[in-house]
A and B are shown apart, each in its own frame.
Chain A
Amino acid sequence: MSTAVAIHEEAHVPQPKQISKPGGLLRRTNFLTALISGVVTAAVFWFVTDKITSAVAGAGATNSMALPSGLNINITMMYIGWVIGFMAGIGAFAGPIRWFLGHDLTHADAEYMAGKDMGREKFWKFTTDHKVVGIQYLVVTLVLFGFGGLLAMLIRTELGATWTEVFNPNFYNSIIGTHGIVMIIAMIIVISGPIGNFIVPIMCGARDMAFPRLNALSIWLLIAAIPPLVSNLLMGGIRDGWTVYQPLADQAPIGMIGYQICIITFAFSTGIASVNLITTIVRMRAAGMTWSRTPILVYGILGSSIMGLVWFPMYQYSQILALSDRTLLTSFFVPSSGGSVWLYENLFWLLGHPEVYVIVIPATAGLLEYLPVFVRKPLFSYKLAVSGIFGVVGLSAVVWVHHMYMTGWAPQSNYPFMMSTEMISIPFSFLVLVILGTMWRGKPWKRLPMMAVYAVVWNKVIGGITGVYLSDTPVDQYMHGSMFVVAHFHYMLMGAGLFGAMGVISYFFPKMIGRYLDELWGSIGFWTAFAGFQITFMSMFVAGLQGMPRRVLQFDSLFNISNWISTIGAYIIGIGMLIFLYAIIDSWRNGIPAPDNPWGGKTLENFTSTPVPHENFPVLPVVTSGPYDFGTPDPYELADDAIMQKTEGAEKVSARS
């Protein structure tokens, strides 16, 4: 018997039997069935919980309100019902059901789930293709920014109208908190969602993410998490700021449950997305893409995912415990029954601070990724950039107490945490040097993404120096809880994070959508928003220095002028953002079609066609050079360059740059 014959006999690859049409249950599920299922399940959960709790409450009770926390229990179960029903309705449980029935997933099933040869309806379904998930994330992000931005306009309207109360205090406090948490969620996903899902697998040279079905699960969990949060405005609101400190949150109306369910669900979504991204990046990079040839954006997303995976559970626990205080009348955070408000603050800030880097690191890495393309120079000191990212990731674990300098929790701990907080500026400064070194002697190509780098570094410098004041405990004793803090973190999160994300999205837009972002309208929108941003938050620094506390709706007339200016600036931001949104929508539909390599980059996503085909590459690429191999030999280093010698003979002998 020859070997050849044996191979021939085994050439028939075993395949599972196709039971139904490809896709099975998923053929029937989409966003609409998810909505219906979510609402129906929520109603059923409410009804059943109401019956059970009134039975528990004892004879004579007609409904659950006889229990001290009856309403809270009902609302909680209703929201849990919404999340479960929504996920069931979108088809998230098709996999486990198939497994219980003993059906195998066939190749045709998998292709159906990835949305192969499907039209636009794949964007409304539980689609596993990472490119579809990326676009879904992009749209969800835009919606969240629109909503959070609208709330920001309302806040500034109230603060600008110094002569009256535009909103009642409960509604005002609720929109502060909702604006905060909506923007935080949007900022956490704005790079890792659209870019991390769409671009990173292509940049790594993979056909999809490591766990495509978990990928779909993460986006739909996120979408399920939003309605409970938004609904809080109709249910008494969360009048506690985005930090929802206990025990104030315990006093809040039932809207608070929406916040807690949203965070618990969103933490699952983030954890799943982080695991997926980390596995993809670590295991699925193309052959030849060693750790020193991996694009810096991939490192940024990796660092951000690690932080999200490690620290998000802290926030989730804090909300689970708070929810249990509310429904089961435990007393984790209730001081009158032996609980501790400082415990809540610690759990909250254990995520609360790394989350800032979850936002800023991918945005910064995104800028580092495309900066070499626009100056046509190598990334300056690639290894320093990687060290900077991981230095920040490491130190982010030990700085959270700087949010608690003034709580009186442990005054002695202010010493070490001031030290660690100021030390984190060192790895961050590495990233600044990388940006400056890459700009050094380069000719910038003045397209919108490049201009965003200038805008972001400017914002980061201002956010950075004001951060130095706040990290210093004595100065923070004055600044803590004032408008100065608000202006500072807007410079970091919005100035560096959001404007960075606008640059990154405008860079990857042609690859994702297939069309360039309109240069004219995009730039007008970007710079209008940027100008408005400077006006708003520079003026807010002044209000903070003058001693204006944050989260107030009326204040001393000393702060009037700076608040008027801030409000005017905020409206300018609003106009700028609307123009930018118009540019995105207009370019999406009829922008200039982009070639395969829109900007002349050297990373892998530029070596497949635009729009990116199903499964990304016809043949998986092999990487043979670094991602930033731009540049001609340095004229200052070419000692025998005759022209240099003739004209600038004295200079060329000097050090390298």
Chain B
Amino acid sequence: MSTTDERPLASADEPESPTNRPGSMHLVKQWLQRPYVRRLLWITVAITAVIIALSFVMVAFMNMSGGPGSAIMNEIEKTMFVLTFTCAPLMAGTLAVLTYSWWGGWGSVASRDEPTSDGPAIQTNGVAVVTWITVCSVLAAFLVVWGLVELATITSDSYGSVPANQQPNSAKPVVVNVTGQQWLWSFDYPDSGNIKSDQLVLPVNVPAYFNVTSLDVVHSFWVVEEGVKIDANPGAITNTGFTPTKLGTFNVRCAELCGLHHAYMETQVKVVTQEQFNSWIREQGGTTTS
């Protein structure tokens, strides 16, 4: 063997290297020069772009019926984007290797033939494993932290778990007792003379607070465009709330199978101005404080 056939890790760039080993960045650079690695990177970039474009389509679908109607729904949509962007590169990288192998980028054996030779005996690769685990863990940790912060945000938005006097909004909330029964919703405004309605009417930009329960089986109170959902349980009261920020008519649906006519257990929420709300209350025979 001639000297040029020694383990050729001493490349021309680093003639002075005392250990005769190139630096790690150099190894990465050389790895990146392999043709298939470059192609894979390009495919990854392309798929990432597609996924990011798709995330806008997804949120557009969520808004098709008139949302977002509240700050909570805005937070949910923001979180959709963050989750998609965080996962996109990893997902795209996976799909890139998949498509590259499928298209025969590394060659392939037709189904009628039999493989005649073995592939490279790559048992494992410490660098790849450590990198992958680190990247996945960091991304998962980021998702967890983001999720925890967002959950705290929307919880205080809907004052689900904070006392009423800690509300950021100074307006006096509209309290509504929501009762599910097979198969209709009824709404009860205890602060406005206990008027009852089968339709939810709320003033815009005023916090609405819900005490939700059920008379018979488990229902789920879902105000679709406001991004709020909580089960209505028999024998228990659950709480949720939101501040509607958009005028309009939105949907209330039951999101838990509750028997025969579950599909028809839906009604509407009308978000109106404070004046319209007050006159609606008076029409129903209730009393208004303002």
Question: A429: which B residues are within 8 A, CB to CB?
Answer: 90, 132-133, 136
**Considering residues B72, B217, B253, B257, which has the most beta carbons from chain A within 10 angstroms of its beta carbon?**
B257
A212 part of interface (Cβ distance < 8 Å): no
Whether the pair B109, A248 counts as a contact (CB closer than 8 A) is no
Which of A91-99, A182-190, A349-357, A646-654 forms contacts with chain B? A646-654
Known: A245-B218, A381-B124, A632-B118. Is A335-B234 also a contact (CB below 8 A)?
Answer: yes
Which of B140-148, B167-175, B190-198, B278-286 forms contacts with chain A? B140-148
Please, how many angstroms separate the alpha-carbon atoms of A51 and B95 in the complex?
A: 66
Question: A480: which B residues are within 8 A, CB to CB?
Answer: 220, 229, 255
What is the 8 Å Cβ interface bit string for chain A, positions 236-275, against chain B (1 contact, 0 not)? 0001110001011001000000000000000000000000
Q: Of residues 622 to 657 in A, which have CB atoms within 8 Å of B's CB atoms? A: 630-636, 639-640, 645, 649-657
Whether the pair B140, A422 counts as a contact (CB closer than 8 A) is yes
Please, how many angstroms separate the alpha-carbon atoms of A378 and B119 in the complex?
A: 9
Whether the pair B124, A380 counts as a contact (CB closer than 8 A) is yes
**How far apart are B43's CB and chain A's nearest CB, in angstroms?**
13
Whether the pair B109, A443 counts as a contact (CB closer than 8 A) is yes
A32 part of interface (Cβ distance < 8 Å): no
Please, how many angstroms separate the alpha-carbon atoms of A657 and B83 in the complex?
A: 30
Whether the pair A631, B155 counts as a contact (CB closer than 8 A) is no
Question: A176: which B residues are within 8 A, CB to CB?
Answer: 257
B121 part of interface (Cβ distance < 8 Å): yes
- With CB as the reference atom, state the residue of chain B lying closest to A450: B111
Q: Of residues 246 to 261 in B, which have CB atoms within 8 Å of A's CB atoms? A: 251, 253-261
Whether the pair A384, B260 counts as a contact (CB closer than 8 A) is no
Which of A4-12, A107-115, A320-328, A412-420 forms contacts with chain B? A412-420
- With CB as the reference atom, state the residue of chain B lying closest to A552: B263
Please, how many angstroms separate the alpha-carbon atoms of A600 and B262 in the complex?
A: 55
- With CB as the reference atom, state the residue of chain A lying closest to B5: A640
Please, how many angstroms separate the alpha-carbon atoms of A318 and B247 in the complex?
A: 45
- With CB as the reference atom, state the residue of chain A lying closest to B7: A639
A-side interface size class: 35 or more
- With CB as the reference atom, state the residue of chain B lying closest to A635: B120
Question: A468: which B residues are within 8 A, CB to CB?
Answer: 83, 87, 143
Contact of A251 among B76, B91, B212, B259 (CB under 8 A): B259
**How far apart are A437's CB and chain B's nearest CB, in angstroms?**
7
Question: B27: which A residues are within 8 A, CB to CB?
Answer: 654-655
B165 part of interface (Cβ distance < 8 Å): no
B151 part of interface (Cβ distance < 8 Å): yes
B129 part of interface (Cβ distance < 8 Å): yes
**Considering residues B87, B91, B218, B225, which has the most beta carbons from chain A within 10 angstroms of its beta carbon?**
B218
**How far apart are B105's CB and chain A's nearest CB, in angstroms?**
9
Please, how many angstroms separate the alpha-carbon atoms of A440 and B128 in the complex?
A: 12
Whether the pair B140, A472 counts as a contact (CB closer than 8 A) is no
Please, how many angstroms separate the alpha-carbon atoms of A652 and B8 in the complex?
A: 9
Which of A17-25, A304-312, A553-561 forms contacts with chain B? A553-561
Whether the pair A472, B83 counts as a contact (CB closer than 8 A) is yes
Whether the pair B118, A631 counts as a contact (CB closer than 8 A) is yes
Whether the pair B120, A443 counts as a contact (CB closer than 8 A) is no
Whether the pair B127, A655 counts as a contact (CB closer than 8 A) is yes
Please, how many angstroms separate the alpha-carbon atoms of A246 and B199 in the complex?
A: 27
Whether the pair B220, A381 counts as a contact (CB closer than 8 A) is no
Whether the pair B114, A600 counts as a contact (CB closer than 8 A) is yes
Whether the pair B114, A445 counts as a contact (CB closer than 8 A) is yes
Known: A654-B34, A657-B128. Is A247-B102 also a contact (CB below 8 A)?
Answer: no
Question: A173: which B residues are within 8 A, CB to CB?
Answer: 257, 259-260, 262
Question: B217: which A residues are within 8 A, CB to CB?
Answer: 245, 247-248, 251
Question: A376: which B residues are within 8 A, CB to CB?
Answer: 115, 117-119
Q: Of residues 264 to 283 in B, which have CB atoms within 8 Å of A's CB atoms? A: 264
Known: A380-B124, A408-B230. Is A547-B253 also a contact (CB below 8 A)?
Answer: yes
Whether the pair A461, B95 counts as a contact (CB closer than 8 A) is yes
Whether the pair A630, B119 counts as a contact (CB closer than 8 A) is yes
Contact of B95 among A247, A335, A458, A554 (CB under 8 A): A458
Whether the pair B33, A481 counts as a contact (CB closer than 8 A) is no
7 interchain pairs, CB-CB under 8 A: A380-B122, A415-B148, A419-B148, A425-B140, A429-B136, A465-B84, A635-B120
For the A-B complex with A448-B111, A461-B94, A632-B119 known, give 8 more contacts whose Cβ atoms are closer than 8 Å: A378-B122, A408-B236, A418-B148, A433-B128, A441-B120, A481-B222, A546-B64, A549-B255
B residues apposed to A, CB below 8 Å: 1, 5-9, 11, 22, 27-28, 30-31, 33-34, 36, 58, 61-62, 64-65, 72-73, 75-76, 79-80, 83-84, 87, 90-91, 94-95, 97-98, 101-102, 104, 106-111, 113-115, 117-125, 127-129, 132-133, 136-137, 140, 143-144, 147-148, 150-151, 153-155, 160-161, 212, 216-218, 220, 222, 224-225, 227-231, 233-236, 238-239, 251, 253-264
Please name the 9 residue pairs, one residue from A and one from B, whose CB atoms are nearest each other, closest first.
A631-B121, A408-B238, A335-B235, A481-B255, A654-B30, A552-B263, A377-B119, A545-B61, A381-B124
